[in-house]
Structure 1
Amino acid sequence: MAANKVVLVEDSPIALEILQRLLSSSTEVDVVGTARDGVEGLEVITRTKPDVICTDFHMENMDGLELTKRVMAEDPRPILVISNFVQKTDIDNVFRLLQAGATDVFPKPRTDSPTDYEGLKSALITKIKILSTMKVTQRRQQTASLTAPAKPIASGAFSGMQPLMTNVSSRVKVITIGASTGGLPAIQKIICQLPANFPLPIICTAHVSQGVLSGMVNWLSSECGLKVKIADVGESPSPGTVYFASEKNNLELDNRGKFIYSDCPETDKHCPSISATFRSIARFYGKATAGVLLNGIGRDGAEGLQAIAQAGGITVGQDGGFGMVKEAIGLNAVQQVLAIEKIAPFLLKTISG
């Protein structure tokens, strides 16, 4: 199998040298070009046609944001932003990068220590391998869409919490969503179409880089009408709230329906595990569960979605038919295959009976 071609755009000579050394140590990654800023990066990208572009955020002449806009408008490719400026205190940067079309973000260590970078080697290479398989589409540069968050759809029939709760179908009591690397923008597209008085809790598990989740949760909360938070131990899922599993443990429910965290087995490639969360929710809510699995490499989530289907719940897979969703289809676990923009309307229709 051919190695994944990568271009590195990084203005720090030290960071560039370390990233080159880390990636070049893997036979699965081929660094086909480097650049010191976005202007030089565009030339290298045009010449080398990489599978994945890794870029810093802050650079002179052309920064990572403008580079992302240009690439996505002219020659779309998966873009991984590797930067100190995608931590939880930099919500706006994360928002603008993802809105511009960046596929994912990956935080640098707080120092340029080679030891710090070695600790991220495996995670970085795995992320590049996953992103290289993802399909990205062209985006026109639209200033308005990059400077203002998307607005949630009007509540429509959902006007007032009490009437809403009494009109909801008794079948569905919880929605759970699983997403892999690059899946946070897809989750954003779903939950930001839902009204602020959405009558069900939404429980999410996403494969994200260490140190990114808190900032992503804050960004989603600022984007959408729903409350978004990391689930706390002992908390009961509440309507109108989107919960995320923490970065280092599996999110599950105890026999009272309250959140608990469990350790991830060493054999699990992903922590938190989508399947672990799906199975736990299916055990407690049974046929009152609606599960949504988004595309991603591997099979995490496939068996969990199967557990929801076997419990009599509703299951949805993102169209595109690769990776996790393909595995779930192979298990006969997917009842509905939908484009990402059609998932929220389907959920609204389903819970309205």
Structure 2
Amino acid sequence: MIKVLIVDDSASVRTLFAEMFKREDDFEVVGCAEDGYSALRMVRDLKPDVVTMDVNLPDCDGFRVTRMIMEDNPVPIVIVSAIYRASDAEIGFRLIDTGALAFHNKPALKSENFEEQMQDIILSVRLMSEVRVVRRKTRFRREAINEKVVPDKVASRSESLTGKGKIVCIGASTGGPQAIKQILMSLPQGFPVPILIVQHMSDGFTKGMANWLKNHTGHDIRIASHDDELKPGVIYFAPEGVHTEISPKRRIVLTDAPNVNGIKPSASVLFNSVARNLGRSAVGVLLTGMGRDGADGLLEIRRNGGYTIAQDEESSIVFGMPGEAVKIGGAVSVLPLDSIGGELCRIFLGLLEDK
């Protein structure tokens, strides 16, 4: 049984969440805390396997509570909080820095998607309960450029990238925000190629994530718009609710096509368009995440002469997406997270130095 502690200042929300988890055969609700200090005590005494945490608590905000839990009694924490504005979403990402693993927008009871949103939360809590956490999170360092690359799994630059108009495309899901942040922090300002990112997340978080990463990394980070021309040094995030593709003329195309792999935006859709239109000029990167989205697209990039990287199992919070890519032969390289940014620097900055 997965022992879950629910932390929320609303009695009705605590009751609702408790009922939803009790419906699941593999969950046991060991407690419900209405404030931060109760949460700290219950984590210490009840030793839950996972905690759902609200941000706004009456006595002690979610930042301090999360930080204190991770310092004293580390346990996987999933943030579930109401998001109304991009600034609210940024709060969720700030919690990533204190040790939280994932976050979700608190579903409205009267929403027509309530059951679906709750099932997403339950699945996330189930997955996060298996993650091994340690005391406090270490700061990301700009040292990935010096990290060792896994030997004999890396294609040569001459074989993997040719032609003009190079591009990096990244797909991620569960655990992606932390992974993306670490990669971007290892890249220099003005990185010489555009980067496109598909990150699966709850509605309302994408703009907040872009702002959070921009503030932390200093890169030019934008939400992609239809017909944007790709520019070197700019990082584009796929917007919510639509697929993002790249045209042969290196422009962004947003489409309202059906979900792919149950997801929209889909990393597979982006990767397939990149493989089709840019081929040997592309690098595809598939990071931590549940499911298989992006795996077949990564394989297509490789088949079309591009260079592909999958995050390794040890550094992935969930090895679903990169694991599927490895299984079907979609990854040229399988690298730990702290080596991926350095590998991108070697590929692109090395090419520039050779000229």
Query: Which TM bucket (shorter chain)?
Result: 0.7 to 0.9
Q: Deviations over 1:185-231 (max 9, x none)?
A: 11011112212211100000011111111111111111122111111
Q: Where does residue 98 of structure 2 map in the other structure?
A: 100
Deviates more, 1:230-239 or 1:13-22: 13-22
Q: 1:279 to 1:133 in 2, by over 3 A?
A: farther
CA distance in structure 1 between the aligned counterparts of 2:240 and 2:207, rounded to whole angstroms? 9
Q: Aligned AA for 1:283?
A: R
Q: Where does residue 139 of structure 1 map in the other structure?
A: 136
User: Identity of paired residues, percent?
Assistant: 33
Q: Deviations over 1:299-352 (max 9, x none)?
A: 111111111111111111112262111111111122222221221111101112
What's the offset of the Cα at 1:49? Answer: 3.6
Q: Where does residue 313 of structure 1 map in the other structure?
A: 306
Deviates more, 1:31-40 or 1:115-124: 115-124
Q: 1:298–1:323: 8 Å Cα contact kept in structure 2?
A: yes
Pairs within 5 Å for 1:200-279? 200-266=193-259, 268-279=261-272
Q: Where does residue 347 of structure 1 map in the other structure?
A: 344
Q: Deviations over 1:106-126 (max 9, x none)?
A: 2225x6657675463233223
Q: Aligned AA for 2:180?
A: I
Q: 1:23–1:31: 8 Å Cα contact kept in structure 2?
A: yes
What's the offset of the Cα at 1:295? Answer: 1.7
Deviates more, 1:336-345 or 1:234-243: 336-345
Deviates more, 1:47-56 or 1:279-288: 47-56
Q: Aligned AA for 1:262?
A: T
CA distance in structure 1 between the aligned counterparts of 2:29 and 2:102, rounded to whole angstroms? 19
Deviates more, 1:74-83 or 1:114-123: 114-123
Pairs within 5 Å for 1:1-353? 4-27=2-25, 29-84=27-82, 87-90=85-88, 93-109=91-107, 117-118=114-115, 120-139=117-136, 173-266=166-259, 268-320=261-313, 322-351=319-348, 352-353=350-351
Q: 1:127 to 1:99 in 2, by over 3 A?
A: same
Q: The residue matched to 1:277 in structure 2 has which SS?
A: helix
RMSD: 2.8
CA distance in structure 2 between the aligned counterparts of 1:188 and 1:84, rounded to whole angstroms? 23
What's the offset of the Cα at 1:175? Answer: 0.5
CA distance in structure 2 between the aligned counterparts of 1:295 and 1:28, rounded to whole angstroms? 24
Q: 1:114 to 1:242 in 2, by over 3 A?
A: closer
Q: 2:259–2:265: 8 Å Cα contact kept in structure 1?
A: no
TM-score, normalised to structure 1, is 0.84
Q: 1:152 to 1:235 in 2, by over 3 A?
A: farther
CA distance in structure 1 between the aligned counterparts of 2:20 and 2:272, rounded to whole angstroms? 37
**Structure with more relative contact order (C-alpha pairs < 8 Å, separation 6 or more):** 2
Count of residues paired in the alignment: 331
Q: Aligned AA for 1:216?
A: M
What's the offset of the Cα at 1:65? Answer: 1.2
CA distance in structure 2 between the aligned counterparts of 1:312 and 1:32, rounded to whole angstroms? 52
CA distance in structure 2 between the aligned counterparts of 1:86 and 1:28, rounded to whole angstroms? 32
Q: 1:323 to 1:214 in 2, by over 3 A?
A: same
Q: Deviations over 1:160-183 (max 9, x none)?
A: xxxxxxxxx855700111111231
Which ranges of structure 1 fall in alignment gaps of 5 or more residues? 156-168
Structure 1: which 4+ aligned runs deviate by more than 4 Å? 111-119, 150-153, 169-172
Q: 1:193–1:344: 8 Å Cα contact kept in structure 2?
A: yes
TM-score, normalised to structure 2, is 0.83
Q: Aligned AA for 1:314?
A: Y
Q: Aligned AA for 2:201?
A: V
CA distance in structure 2 between the aligned counterparts of 1:48 and 1:334, rounded to whole angstroms? 42
